[in-house]
Amino acid sequence: MSSFALLLPVLFPVLMGLLILLFPDFDLPRPRRFVVTMALLVNWVALAPCLLMGEETQPLFLLTSDLPLFLKADGTAKVFACVMAFVWAMAGIYSFEYMAHEGHERRYYGLYMITLGALMGLCFSGSIVTFYMFYELMTLLTMPMVMHSGKKDAVAAGLKYLIYSILGASLALLSVFLLSPYGNGFSFAPGGVLDSAKVSGHEGAVLTAAFLMLLGFSCKGGLFPLHGWLPTAHPAAPAPASAVLSGVITKAGVLGVLRTLYFYVGADFLRGTWVQTAFMALTLFTVFMGSLLAFKEGLLKKRLAWSSVSQVSYVLFGLSTLHPLGFAGALLHVIAHSLIKDTLFMGAGAVILKTGKTKVKDLAGIGKRMPKTMACFTLASLGLIGIPPCLGFVSKWYLAQGSMAMAGVPGCFNLLGPTVLLLSALLTAGYLMPIIIRGFFPGEDAPALKKCEPGMGMVIPMMILSVLMLILGAFPGGLIDLFSALAGTVL
């Protein structure tokens, strides 16, 4: 089957974004919101055939005789495309009321739609070259979202985001060049593309290149030491942009790591090597560091940003186990974190929009003023901590099981993983639960303030995301079976 069919969910959002950018009629809120809403929904119509087709596709075209650009609808692509498209749609609908107070809406929504197309191309990329092309395009399109307000701190944050992203992408591209002599082409394949005969005698060089590729793609996921952009960019961006930066854009880095480990270099080659040990150590350090810094942070959005640094590394840790249970736990946490963190950033945005309060210490009584918003915030917080039956509990359970069952690494890592995850969960409770407790129980001496709930256009997406997280956590069997089957194809 031609991979041209997979271009539909890529090209449709791009064309809609260009339409919004090029025609001044979309300066008017009503037609712009109608077009964005319909485009986000119709994109699922374009995506549906891609979810049903098989994996065998033909290249779009050849850059050279042996360098194809093509799209492929394997199981991993379908999972990430569904998650990204759904969360992107929820955040887009939420943003209508919020962005009315930010200005430059036509520019924001034009780039928002084009970025969705780039993300769909990223998910369905069938080769490392195609993946890199969409990866860089996504970076360039999302930088203006960080700089949207045009304020000095936002511009500085956008530039920092760009510099870190280029550094990470450059490491990944360098690794592609270094690995190319040792592989059978550039197309993703379960188990990797390395040729054992070509690698023989050059294992050290191949392992070094693999580590650089993992480190490069992990930059988007906020892995130490390339995490510095994330706690700077998230607070500077508008809340809807912060939501998708945390819930979706970081998953682009996760997808890059997943493709590297399981479809380009190969789990069998990396298992038991210093690359697996070093990468796993970085993920666990980042999990703990992000949670600790979130616990100490006083600004609400920056606290959530540090939380993202920690939580995305949960996913990277699960992938680094190279074990089916860890793999399943990682994909479960991809979904859990996307739903939860978008809800939390949306809740924070609603609070800031309606009260102007940005510091955690000023949020006493906010639950009485914004009960619907804070109910969603509370449910998402419980999911992030890992309280059953939320999906966050299920994902962390499988991550811990994968850690204890993995082989080939120093024995201390089998117990170190669950220990760090538990400490991080306690810190997560420490930086989220005080917001909720003081929000709903401010004390008898707290002044009575009138309610200031946002419109239903902001509340409903938060409700959908938080309730879906709870439902998937209560009935996770279908997801577990799906991700276990995916793990069986690559391990």
pLDDT digits (tens, 9 = 90+) for 216-238: 999 999 999 999 999 999 888 89
The amino acid sitting at 413 is F
pLDDT at 476: 95
Question: Under 8 Å CB-to-CB from 472, ≥6 apart: which residues?
Answer: 335, 336, 339, 391, 479
Instruction: Specify whether the CB–CB gap between 349 and 240 falls below 8 A.
Output: yes
Whole-structure pTM value: 0.94
Please check the confidence at residue 136 and state whether its pLDDT lies above 70: yes
pLDDT at residue 430 above 60?
A: yes
Backbone angles phi, psi at 62, to 5 degrees: -105, 125
The CA-atom distances, in angstroms, between 302 and each of 306, 307, 344 are 6, 8, 12
Task: Provide mean pLDDT across the span 98-107.
Answer: 85
Q: What average pLDDT score do residues 145-151 get? A: 89
Asked if 473 and 389 touch (Cβ cutoff 8 Å), the reply is: yes
Q: How confident is the model at residue 407 (pLDDT cuts 50, 70, 90)?
A: confident
Question: Does the pLDDT at position 450 exceed 60?
Answer: yes
Q: Is 60 a residue whose pLDDT tops 70? A: no
pLDDT digits (tens, 9 = 90+) for 459-468: 999 999 999 9
Domain positions in the chain: 3-490
Task: Tell me the pLDDT band of 366, cut-offs 50, 70 and 90.
Answer: very high
What is the predicted pLDDT for the residue at 100? Answer: 85
Q: What is the pLDDT of residues 388-402, one digit of tens each?
A: 999 999 999 999 999
* pLDDT given for residue 377 in this prediction: 96
Q: What is the mean pLDDT of the chain?
A: 90
Q: What is the pLDDT of residue 2?
A: 54
Banded model confidence at residue 413, pLDDT cuts 50, 70, 90: confident
| Residue 11: burial class (beta carbons within 10 Å; 0-12, 13-18, 19+) | middle
Confidence of residue 166 (pLDDT cuts 50, 70, 90): very high
Q: Is the pLDDT of residue 382 over 80?
A: yes
3-state secondary structure of 63: strand
Residue 151, Cβ neighbours under 10 Å: how many?
11
Instruction: Give the pLDDT band (50/70/90) at residue 8.
Output: confident
d(CA 413, CA 415): 5
**Residues with Cβ < 8 Å from 446, sequence gap 6 or more?**
364, 365
Q: Check residue 198 and give its pLDDT.
A: 93
Query: Which among 219, 412, 398 has a CA at the least distance from the CA of 319?
Result: 398
Distance CA 48, CA 20 (A): 24
Q: List, in sequence order, every residue forming a beta bridge with 219; answer none if it has no partner.
A: none
Residue 381 has a pLDDT of: 96
485 pLDDT tier (thresholds 50, 70, 90): very high
Is residue 1 scored above 60 in pLDDT?
A: no
pLDDT band per the 50, 70, 90 thresholds, residue 27: confident
Dig out the tokens for 102 from the structure.
Answer: 């930010």
Sign of CA pseudo-dihedral 192, 194, 197, 199: negative
Q: Taking residues 88-92, what's their average pLDDT?
A: 93
Q: Are 464 and 317 in contact (CB under 8 A)?
A: no
* pLDDT for position 61: 62
pLDDT of residue 328: 96
pLDDT recorded at residue 406: 84
Nearest to 336 by CA among 252, 211, 247, 411: 247
